[in-house]
Amino acid sequence: MTTPARTGAGLRAYLALTAVLGPLGPLVLRGRLKRGKEDPLRWSEKRGIASAPRPDGPLIWLHAVGLGEVMALRGLIAALHAARADLSFLVTSTARASGGVFADNLPPRTTHQFLPLDLSGPVQAFLDYWRPDLAVWSEQDLWPRLVHQTHARGIPLALVNARMDAAAHRKRAALRGILRDTYARFSFLAAQDDTTARHIRDLAPGVEITTLGSLKSGGAPLPDDPANRADLARHLGARKLWCAASTHGADESVVLTAQALRHNADPASLLIIVPRDPARRDSIASACAAYGLPYAMRSGGEVPKPSDAVWIADSFGELGLWYRLCPVAVIGGSFGQVQGHNPWEAAQLDCAILHGPNTANFAADYAALARAEAALEVRDPATLNAALDRPDLAEMAERGRVLQSNSAGSVARTSAALLDLLGAG
């Protein structure tokens, strides 16, 4: 169990401020709506106004901030449902992109809503309506009023898959008082790695936290449309495919330089770029043109012509398709300051994994893959180009798939702990 919950000066000040700021919530949301940052059909969910019925029976509420984090919860939901078929699940997120894609890939007995603003009115309306029997927060996103009010209603709280590197720890140090009292309200805390556990203990002395590994290593496979995939495979024929997944600008500079080398030597080479933010499509297209690389744009309904060197896959929710089509994937976020994205989704779908040198977000994961010779770090276009021609990529992919399968025990252990907590609640 955690230390007894307290409401220190920092948390009291936060609660008072969010009570005063309540009337500004709708104004903020309308401004975001005008800028295209909110779903026009569902933005009221962030005011605590539900757009779906609450299911009968016990309900587990799970929250994660964005698309990748939300999709990673599917394996945990599947394990909980397999153990107790009477459970229903409410999944909340904050990023607009997460809503539509997750809604298209809902696990059994699961509803998606956007998380309400951490203001008095939206929080009260949300909890009054959904009345969860257990609240599960994932990774880094914590909102003190929601946690405080959930705990005040006697609803048990769990933090799973927690992740906090040194940079995130430094940023949170100024909020130490608020975070100490927020973490103390959780009955179960599980970290991805020992570094995260140490950082949370520093912010909240006395809390009990265990290290269970990453839930992302045991998530359900990313979905795709097999018929669509078969059609694309026939169209692409014998082209030599490789994928750059969840990319940012720094990643694209490296992979496009490498593809310029490859395409000049072998026009059959085709790079599929899957940007982390599809809205960056125009800047990627401009970069392709600057490198002299002909391209096709997925959102425009284009499929690559034999002369095209790059396919810009500027769509949400299709990463499972690209991983299944490509034998090798460069995982983005690893050449700049983003510090890497999830490698396990690619490993699970038989992709050989290449990545840049900056992977602090998944340091333990990439280290495990490296030890198993299931992933390879590349530092620049030249080493990337050489790696793409390695004769052992298929063996690397197989080692990654086996390691992913063996690492999936974190889901089972987390599921068991949550079921115990639900029973205790």
Task: With respect to residue 4, please indicate whether it lies within any of the assigned structural domains.
Answer: no
Q: What is the pLDDT of residue 2?
A: 40
Is residue 74 within 8 Å of residue 107, measured between CB atoms? yes
Positions of the chain with pLDDT lower than 50, given as ranges: 1-3
Is residue 70 within 8 Å of residue 64, measured between CB atoms? yes
Residues 207, 85 within the same domain: yes
Task: With respect to residue 2, please indicate whether it lies within any of the assigned structural domains.
Answer: no
Using alpha carbons, select from 310, 265, 275 the residue that is nearest to residue 290.
310
pLDDT tens digits for 389-406?
999 999 999 999 998 887
Task: With respect to residue 88, please indicate whether it lies within any of the assigned structural domains.
Answer: yes
Task: With respect to residue 139, please indicate whether it lies within any of the assigned structural domains.
Answer: yes
- Domain extent, residue 308, equals 226-407
291 CA to centre of own chain: 31
pLDDT tens digits for 189-227?
999 889 999 999 999 999 999 999 888 887 778 999 999
Q: What is the pLDDT of residue 3?
A: 42
User: Facing residues of 295 across strands?
Assistant: 310
Residues 235, 258 within the same domain: yes
Q: What is the pLDDT of residue 425?
A: 57
**How far is residue 164's CA from residue 339's CA, in Å, rounded to a whole number?**
12
Residues 245, 172 within the same domain: no
Task: With respect to residue 1, please indicate whether it lies within any of the assigned structural domains.
Answer: no
Q: Provide the domain count of the chain.
A: 2
Q: What is the pLDDT of residue 424?
A: 63
Instruction: Check residue 340 and give left, alpha or beta (phi > 0: left; psi -120 to 50: alpha).
Output: left
Task: With respect to residue 192, please indicate whether it lies within any of the assigned structural domains.
Answer: yes
Residues 149, 91 within the same domain: yes
**How far is residue 339's CA from residue 83's CA, in Å, rounded to a whole number?**
36
Residues 420, 390 within the same domain: no
Residues 212, 231 within the same domain: no
Instruction: Check residue 100 and give left, alpha or beta (phi > 0: left; psi -120 to 50: alpha).
Output: alpha
Q: What is the pLDDT of residue 77?
A: 94
Using alpha carbons, select from 80, 118, 72, 60 the residue that is nearest to residue 98.
72
Residues 51, 97 within the same domain: yes
* Single-letter amino acid code for the residue at 82: A
**How far is residue 416's CA from residue 83's CA, in Å, rounded to a whole number?**
9
Read off the CATH number of the domain in which 188 is found: 3.40.50.11720
Residues 53, 183 within the same domain: yes
Residues 176, 30 within the same domain: yes
Residues 314, 207 within the same domain: no
Residues 176, 256 within the same domain: no
Task: Extract the tokens encoding 386.
Answer: 């050489």
Residues 276, 238 within the same domain: yes
Task: With respect to residue 3, please indicate whether it lies within any of the assigned structural domains.
Answer: no
Alpha helices in 281-371 (DSSP H): 281-290, 319-325, 344-348, 363-371
Read off the CATH number of the domain in which 281 is found: 3.40.50.2000
Task: With respect to residue 402, please indicate whether it lies within any of the assigned structural domains.
Answer: yes
